[in-house]
Structure 1
Amino acid sequence: MRFSGTPDYVAGKDLMVAVNAAIALERPLLVKGEPGTGKTELAFQISGALGLRLIQWNIKSTTRAAQGLYEYDAVSRLRDSQLGDPRVNDIANYIRRGKLWEAFAADEKVVLLIDEIDKADIEFPNDLLQELDKMEFYVYETDETVRARHRPIVIITSNNEKELPDAFLRRCFFHYIRFPEPETLAAIVEVHHPGIKQDLLRAALTQFYEIREQPGVKKKPSTSEALDWIRLLLAEDVEAKDLRDSPSKILPRLHGALLKNEQDVHLFERLAFMARGRG
């Protein structure tokens, strides 16, 4: 069982090595990188390439680790007992399975995505150490141990908003998705927009990387934002010369797809004003 990329996902050699190493070691793959570099999409592509079902657990700031295992609905049981419902005699009727339980109980091997783990409380990763390591957990209410029938392929993503505990990191195989080089990004664009004119692609990527490398930019545009921007350029039938010859090219055409805060917009407006003054 090896991952070698897909026609819809341009995976570098180092990323494929990381995925296959994590599968061989049977350890979670912790993937970090800038937002929009394809961390979440990676799990979907692994699922599709290997023909495995994907179970996705989206982490929020309020998510608790126990929710991934199970939750006991005591309120519903109390209400049913007041109504004389015979279901109250079996506490298992009020156990709600979490995403880890779903993955452990699957009849086949699955891909489990724990998405944006750094959004949760700092103790969240520590609370999952044993469960992800031993692939089992104990249910106190029913006095049973749930063990994984087939060890899932676990993909964990992080935007690096919080440092993760050392004990958690030791149990993972780590890979950082670097921002793609122009040649790689060009290949990604061509996957999403086959047949794009090469002169437009070169002009757009040149301007895109100039924006990313501009000193003072607070939020650098990501891969997904580059794809959105180029999609708009194609929809508006913008030509390469329109990007190169525009007198205000420092502030890019349709810049709302690339610049996502007012500070960066003001920065490029000032640069455009200074360029016109020099002209």
Structure 2
Amino acid sequence: MSQRFEGTDNYVATDDLKVAVNAAIALQRPLLIKGEPGTGKTVLAEEVAKALGAPLITWHIKSTTKASQGLYEYDAVTRLRDSQLGDERVKDVTNYIKKGKLWEAFTSDVRPVLLIDEIDKADIEFPNDLLQELDRMEFFVYETGETIKAQVRPVIIITSNNEKELPDAFLRRCFFHYIRFPEAETMQSIVDVHYPGIKQKLVAEALRIFYDMRKVPGLKKKPSTSELLDWLKLLMVEDIDEAILKEKDPTKLIPPLHGALLKNEQDVHLFERLAFLARREGSGARPGQ
């Protein structure tokens, strides 16, 4: 099994991202990946697992997730009910222990990739509560008296959308990488990977509009890579020609199928207002008239 990540056929990884992944593997530290939504943070873990020939274990974090759930959960309520019903299962406490994602990763026969996805969604104490287990690669199960110790240290990838600041003690233990929003050249490569036969003139016009839209001040949510790919797919499905996109400034005329790019009414209204003002200026009306 290779232990170096060089990108895959389906994932365009920049050189600095490859360096970050391989540094985290070499240091045996969690790789903390930040970047705006839609820049491929979650997909990275899938592709690293594929490239290393490793199983992927995914722990999706929600606002209600507790760190202990990554270790295990003990269902005392069901055990009590079963004991009242005289169920034989109560004699074995392991029947009431649900293994968490860390337990799964620690007991894997081959080195897995463990993705802790969107860690900033959880309570501020969540990262600190995981520190000891991620450092020592072991934890104690009180109900059975056993210690679960990692057979092989998993490759750990942690993603964050920067919704909350993460504690310093946690950050010190991670190798950090920020996925910058792709430049036009990298974005072209990403598009080529997803749509190999797409017309390059259409891509050129679509990319121009896409990057112009991202520059508009006051946008609540800038369109991301995944939204650009959705938009291109729709342009192909609807057979929209590049001539329709050509020379259209998004601040003067909203592009076709913009619902793939703009995901809230404030942003749609912003572009409608800009287009309206541009039309007024074009018809000779001065602002304030």
Give the shorter-chain TM-score range.
over 0.9
For the pair 1:232 / 2:234, whether they are aligned, the reply is yes
For the pair 1:54 / 2:56, whether they are aligned, the reply is yes
Structure 2 counterpart of 1:261, which letter? N
| Counterpart among 210, 213, 216 of residue 212 in structure 2 | 210
| TM-superposed deviation, 1:277 | 2.2
SS in 1 for 2:256: coil
Of residues 230-239 and 114-123 in structure 1, the stretch that sits farther from structure 2 once superposed is: 230-239
Question: What TM-score does the superposition give when structure 2 sets the normalisation length?
Answer: 0.94
| TM-superposed deviation, 1:278 | 2.7
Equivalent-residue separation in structure 1 for 2:38 and 2:248 (angstroms): 28
**Equivalences for residues 86-165 of structure 1 within 5 A:** 86-165=88-167
| Counterpart among 259, 263, 283 of residue 260 in structure 1 | 263
Mark the CA change 1:156 to 1:247 in structure 2 (over 3 Å): closer, same or farther.
closer
Spell out, residue by residue over 1:218-256, the C-alpha distance to the aligned partner (whole angstroms, 9 max, x if none).
110011011111111111111111012569763111111
Aligned to 2:197: 195
Aligned to 1:273: 276
Mark the CA change 1:84 to 1:247 in structure 2 (over 3 Å): closer, same or farther.
closer
Structure 2: gaps (5+ residues): 283-289
Mark the CA change 1:247 to 1:150 in structure 2 (over 3 Å): closer, same or farther.
closer
SS in 1 for 2:81: helix
Structure 2 counterpart of 1:14, which letter? D
Structure 2 counterpart of 1:186, which letter? Q
| TM-superposed deviation, 1:41 | 0.2
Structure 2 counterpart of 1:2, which letter? R
| Counterpart among 18, 34, 37 of residue 35 in structure 1 | 37
SS in 2 for 1:251: coil
Structure 2 counterpart of 1:26, which letter? Q
SS in 2 for 1:256: helix
SS in 2 for 1:128: helix
The number of equivalent residue pairs is: 279
| Counterpart among 182, 187, 190 of residue 185 in structure 1 | 187
Mark the CA change 1:92 to 1:65 in structure 2 (over 3 Å): closer, same or farther.
same
SS in 2 for 1:77: helix
Of residues 242-251 and 35-44 in structure 1, the stretch that sits farther from structure 2 once superposed is: 242-251
Structure 1 counterpart of 2:97, which letter? I
SS in 2 for 1:126: helix
Structure 2 counterpart of 1:149, which letter? Q
For the pair 1:221 / 2:216, whether they are aligned, the reply is no
SS in 1 for 2:182: coil
Whether the 8 Å contact between 2:58 and 2:114 is mirrored in structure 1 is yes
Spell out, residue by residue over 1:158-217, the C-alpha distance to the aligned partner (whole angstroms, 9 max, x if none).
000000000000110000000000000011011111121111111000000000001111
Whether the 8 Å contact between 2:209 and 2:248 is mirrored in structure 1 is no
Mark the CA change 1:247 to 1:80 in structure 2 (over 3 Å): closer, same or farther.
closer
Aligned to 2:286: none
- Write out the 4+ residue segments of structure 1 that deviate beyond 6 Å after TM superposition: none
Whether the 8 Å contact between 2:209 and 2:249 is mirrored in structure 1 is no
| Counterpart among 253, 256, 277 of residue 250 in structure 1 | 253
Aligned to 1:174: 176
Equivalent-residue separation in structure 2 for 1:212 and 1:247 (angstroms): 12
Equivalent-residue separation in structure 1 for 2:247 and 2:42 (angstroms): 37
| TM-superposed deviation, 1:85 | 1.6
Mark the CA change 1:247 to 1:156 in structure 2 (over 3 Å): closer, same or farther.
closer
Mark the CA change 1:204 to 1:247 in structure 2 (over 3 Å): closer, same or farther.
closer
